[in-house]
Each structure stands twice: as structure tokens, then as C-alpha cells.
């Protein structure tokens, strides 16, 4: 073909990643930060998505929800309600529903890369979550920059549903486990079946507005000698032991 005549063929490469990044960032920038409340969370369609959590004006966390987005946001709201140094009225969020043809992990990665580069997303880097580290980690100090160290659990948290009456100890421990927004682990082969050491014992709860610390004091009194409830920055445990944990924040023992 003559050199001056355009070729009748060529190549087209569509930069999908760049297009998604640009549109995703623009979509989030167009949103305003709303309060992380149950009433607003319930308005969101029950589909997968990505979201941002704020504390005041600070972007603290970027996450994905492969489960329904409102369910994930409610989990965060609940877990954060049991932490010190978090004013619930300061919690806010932005969220986007992601079409089912996409995996939200891609969108999460885009947002994390963008905001980490700006020095944001502190909670992504410091362990926000409610995962059980296991018994082997209970002699390990929580790093000062870790989420649990900056926002330790509230010993004064009042669990809902603990009414004033006589309680079987296993029944009470199971109820507490489901009523606390932080990890509570107690000695058992299985938390549902408990242990022969306390399954047949009962205690009286005198009123319904007792904190987790007050309730565990009652439990310890109702158990035989040698039991201990130990509070750590991110969890509380109850075991038949007399053990000094260097990094415990509080201990109730008998």
C-alpha cells in the first residue's frame, strides 16, 4: 500500500481497570458521609458492595461486602459499640452496591490503594475485626498501634436480654456470648454444650442492667474455687485457672 494511505487495520485496547477506577472514585466522591445508624442501614438494598467507614471526618476503613452490604455495615456498627474511645455519633459511612457480575474485591483493592497512598484507612492496617486469636496468643502483648490497643473493649458494656432471675450458668454464658459485641470465650469442649464443671450450677442475677464485668463477678462467685475471668484489650475469657497474664487489663478470680 502507498505509504501516505492509512492502513485498513489496527488494534484497540480498552483499559478496563482505569475506567473502573475512575468511575468508582467519582461515585464515592459524589456521596456524602451519612451516620452509621440502624435506621439508615436498613434502607440499603440487600446486595453486595463496597464501603468506607469514617470517624468524624477521618476515613478509617475501606471494606467489601460479599454478603449483603447492610448486614456487613450492621456488623461494624455493633462491634464498634463495645469499644472505648469510639463515640457512636461520630461514626459515618459511604457505600455502593456492586452489580452481581462483579466481585467486590476488585473495587475494594482499588479504594484501599488510593486511600492508603493518602495516609488514610488506619483500621485496615491495624486489625479491625472480631477474630479469635486463640489461647496461644494470650501471653502476647497487643501492639500499641493495633486497633484493640487504641480502642479496647468496654468492661461496662451492658448486654441486652440478661433479665433478673435465676440462671443456669451454661445458659447465661451462652447468652452472654451472643449478646456481646466483642469476643467472649469460656472453658468448654463446645460453647453450646459447656462443661461438667458448671453445667449443673446456677446463679441469681438481681437486676437486668448489669455490665459484663458485674455479671462475670456473679459467675465467679457461683463457681467453685480456682476460676478466673480475664479481660484483654480485645476480648474476655473465663477459665478454670489461676494464671497471671502479663498483658491482661483486669482479672476477676476466686
Question: Do residues 139 and 217 make contact, with C-beta atoms less than 8 angstroms apart?
Answer: no
The rounded distance, in Å, linking the Cα atoms of 83 and 129 is 12
Residue 157 phi/psi, 5-degree rounding, is: -65, 135
Residue-wise pLDDT tens digits, 183-194: 999 999 899 999
Kindly tell me if the per-residue pLDDT of 248 is higher than 80: yes
Query: Where does residue 27 fall: left (phi above 0), alpha (psi -120 to 50 degrees), or beta otherwise?
Result: alpha
| CATH code linked to domain 135-253 | 3.55.50
Taking every pair of C-alpha atoms in the chain, what is the biggest distance, in angstroms? 99
The rounded distance, in Å, linking the Cα atoms of 18 and 75 is 32
Say what the pLDDT of residue 12 is: 76
Kindly tell me if the per-residue pLDDT of 151 is higher than 90: yes
Kindly tell me if the per-residue pLDDT of 1 is higher than 60: no
CATH 3.55.50 intervals, the chain: 135-253
Instruction: Say what the pTM is.
Output: 0.89
Alpha helices in 181-252 (DSSP H): 212-222
Alpha helices in the chain (DSSP H): 16-29, 38-41, 69-80, 104-116, 122-126, 147-150, 169-179, 212-222
- Tell me the pairing of strands 165-168 and 202-205: antiparallel
User: What confidence category does residue 130 fall into, taking pLDDT thresholds of 50, 70 and 90?
Assistant: low
Say what the pLDDT of residue 135 is: 77
Distance of CA 120 to the CA centre of its chain: 19
The rounded distance, in Å, linking the Cα atoms of 97 and 78 is 21
The rounded distance, in Å, linking the Cα atoms of 108 and 110 is 5
CATH 3.40.1440.10 intervals, the chain: 16-126
Say what the pLDDT of residue 252 is: 98
User: What confidence category does residue 231 fall into, taking pLDDT thresholds of 50, 70 and 90?
Assistant: very high
Q: What is the DSSP letter of 59?
A: E
The rounded distance, in Å, linking the Cα atoms of 188 and 143 is 29
User: In the CATH scheme, what architecture does the domain 16-126 have?
Assistant: 3-Layer(aba) Sandwich (3.40)
Kindly tell me if the per-residue pLDDT of 32 is higher than 90: yes
Amino acid at each position: 500500500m502507498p505509504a501516505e494511505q492509512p492502513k485498513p487495520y489496527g488494534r484497540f485496547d480498552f483499559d478496563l481497570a482505569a475506567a473502573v477506577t475512575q468511575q468508582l472514585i467519582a461515585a464515592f466522591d459524589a456521596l456524602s458521609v451519612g451516620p452509621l445508624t440502624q435506621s439508615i442501614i436498613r434502607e440499603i438494598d440487600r446486595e453486595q458492595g463496597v464501603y468506607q467507614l469514617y470517624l468524624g471526618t477521618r476515613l478509617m476503613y475501606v471494606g467489601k461486602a460479599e454478603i449483603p452490604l447492610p448486614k456487613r455495615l450492621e456488623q461494624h456498627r455493633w462491634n464498634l459499640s463495645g469499644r472505648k474511645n469510639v463515640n457512636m455519633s461520630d461514626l459515618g459511612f459511604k457505600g455502593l452496591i456492586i452489580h452481581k457480575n462483579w466481585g467486590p474485591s476488585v473495587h475494594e483493592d482499588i479504594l484501599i490503594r488510593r486511600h492508603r497512598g493518602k495516609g488514610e484507612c488506619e483500621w485496615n492496617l491495624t486489625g479491625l475485626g472480631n477474630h479469635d486469636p486463640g489461647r496461644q496468643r494470650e501471653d502476647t502483648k497487643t501492639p500499641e498501634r493495633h486497633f484493640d490497643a487504641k480502642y479496647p473493649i468496654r468492661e461496662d458494656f451492658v448486654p441486652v436480654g440478661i433479665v433478673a432471675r435465676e440462671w443456669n450458668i451454661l445458659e447465661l454464658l451462652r447468652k452472654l456470648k451472643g449478646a456481646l459485641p466483642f469476643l467472649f470465650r469460656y472453658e468448654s469442649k463446645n460453647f453450646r454444650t459447656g462443661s461438667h464443671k458448671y453445667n449443673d450450677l446456677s446463679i441469681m442475677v438481681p437486676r437486668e442492667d448489669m455490665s459484663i464485668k458485674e455479671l462475670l463477678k456473679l459467675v465467679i462467685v457461683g463457681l467453685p474455687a480456682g476460676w478466673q475471668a480475664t479481660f484483654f484489650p480485645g476480648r474476655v475469657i473465663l477459665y478454670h485457672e489461676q494464671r497471671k497474664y502479663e498483658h491482661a487489663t483486669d482479672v476477676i478470680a476466686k
